[in-house]
Chains A and B, each alone.
Chain A
Amino acid sequence: MSAGRPPNLLGATWVLVRKDLLLEWRTRARANALVFFSLATLLLFSFALGPDTTILRRAAGGTLWLAILLASVLALGESFRVEQENAALDGLRLAPADARALFLAKSLANALLLMLLGTVILPVLAALAGVTLVQGPGPMAVVLVLGALAIAGPGTLYAAIASQARARDVLLPLLLFPLLIPALVAAAKATSLVFEGDPMLQFRSWLGLLAGFDLVYWSLGFVLFPRVLED
Chain B
Amino acid sequence: MNLAQEGETRQTGLPVARALPLSNVSNALECIDVSKRYGQRWALARLSFVLPAGASLLLTGHNGSGKTTLLRLLATLLRPTTGRLVLFGQDGVAERATLRPRIALLGHTSFLYEDLTARENCVLLARLLGRPASEVDELLDRAGLAQRADQTVRTFSAGMKKRLSIAGLLLKQPQLALLDEPFAALDPSGIAEMEQHIRSLSRAGTTVVLATHQVEHGQTLCTERLHLSAGRATLA
Once A19-B124, A88-B112, A94-B77 are accepted as A-B contacts, the answer to whether A2 and B107 lie under 8 Å apart by CB is no
At the interface, yes or no: A22 with Cβ under 8 Å from chain B? yes
Once A1-B173, A87-B107, A95-B100 are accepted as A-B contacts, the answer to whether A82 and B127 lie under 8 Å apart by CB is no
Interface residues of B in 71-103 (CB under 8 A from A): 72, 75-79, 96-97, 100-101, 103
The CA-CA distance from A172 to B173 in the complex, in Å, is 39
- Which residue of chain B lies nearest to A93 when distances are taken between CB atoms in the complex? B77
Q: How distant is A75 from chain B, measured CB to nearest CB, in Å?
A: 16
Q: How distant is B18 from chain A, measured CB to nearest CB, in Å?
A: 26
Once A19-B124, A96-B100 are accepted as A-B contacts, the answer to whether A26 and B105 lie under 8 Å apart by CB is no
Mask for A89-113, Cβ within 8 A of B = 1, else 0?
A: 0111111110000000000000000
Q: How distant is B140 from chain A, measured CB to nearest CB, in Å?
A: 14
Q: Is the CB of A86 within 8 A of B131?
A: no
Q: Is the CB of B124 within 8 A of A6?
A: no
- Which residue of chain A lies nearest to B100 when distances are taken between CB atoms in the complex? A96
Q: Is the CB of B113 within 8 A of A95?
A: no
The CA-CA distance from A178 to B168 in the complex, in Å, is 42
Q: How distant is B207 from chain A, measured CB to nearest CB, in Å?
A: 16
Q: From the candidates A3, A22, A97, name the one contacting B128 in the complex (CB within 8 A).
A: A97
The CA-CA distance from A88 to B104 in the complex, in Å, is 14
- Which residue of chain A lies nearest to B80 when distances are taken between CB atoms in the complex? A231
- Which residue of chain A lies nearest to B170 when distances are taken between CB atoms in the complex? A1
Q: Is the CB of B128 within 8 A of A231?
A: no
Mask for A18-43, Cβ within 8 A of B = 1, else 0?
A: 01001100110000000000000000
Q: Is the CB of A86 within 8 A of B109?
A: yes
Q: What bracket does the count of chain B residues touching chain A fall in? A: 35 or more
Q: What bracket does the count of chain A residues touching chain B fall in? A: 20 to 34
Contacts of B152 in A (CB 8 A): 26
Contacts of A3 in B (CB 8 A): 131, 173
Q: From the candidates B77, B107, B109, B113, name the one contacting A231 in the complex (CB within 8 A).
A: B77
Which listed segment binds A: B22-30, B56-64, B114-122, B193-201? B114-122
At the interface, yes or no: A52 with Cβ under 8 Å from chain B? no
Contacts of B112 in A (CB 8 A): 86, 88, 91
Q: How distant is A94 from chain B, measured CB to nearest CB, in Å?
A: 6
The CA-CA distance from A88 to B124 in the complex, in Å, is 12
Q: How distant is A24 from chain B, measured CB to nearest CB, in Å?
A: 10
Q: How distant is A87 from chain B, measured CB to nearest CB, in Å?
A: 4
At the interface, yes or no: A12 with Cβ under 8 Å from chain B? yes
Q: How distant is A227 from chain B, measured CB to nearest CB, in Å?
A: 12
Contacts of B103 in A (CB 8 A): 94
Contacts of B135 in A (CB 8 A): 1-2
Contacts of A1 in B (CB 8 A): 131, 135, 173
Contacts of B115 in A (CB 8 A): 23, 26-27, 82
Q: Is the CB of B173 within 8 A of A90?
A: no
> Can you identify 19 A-B contacts, CB atoms within 8 angstroms?
A2-B131, A4-B130, A15-B124, A19-B120, A82-B115, A86-B110, A86-B111, A86-B112, A90-B109, A91-B107, A91-B125, A93-B77, A94-B100, A94-B105, A94-B111, A96-B128, A230-B79, A230-B96, A231-B77
- Residues of A at under 8 Å CB distance from B? 1-7, 12, 15, 19, 22-23, 26-27, 82, 85-88, 90-97, 230-231
Excluding A87-B109, A88-B111, A95-B129, 9 further A-B contacts by CB distance (< 8 Å) are A2-B135, A4-B129, A19-B120, A19-B124, A90-B72, A90-B109, A91-B107, A91-B112, A94-B76
In the A-B complex, the 3 residue pairs with the closest CB atoms: A91-B111, A4-B130, A96-B100
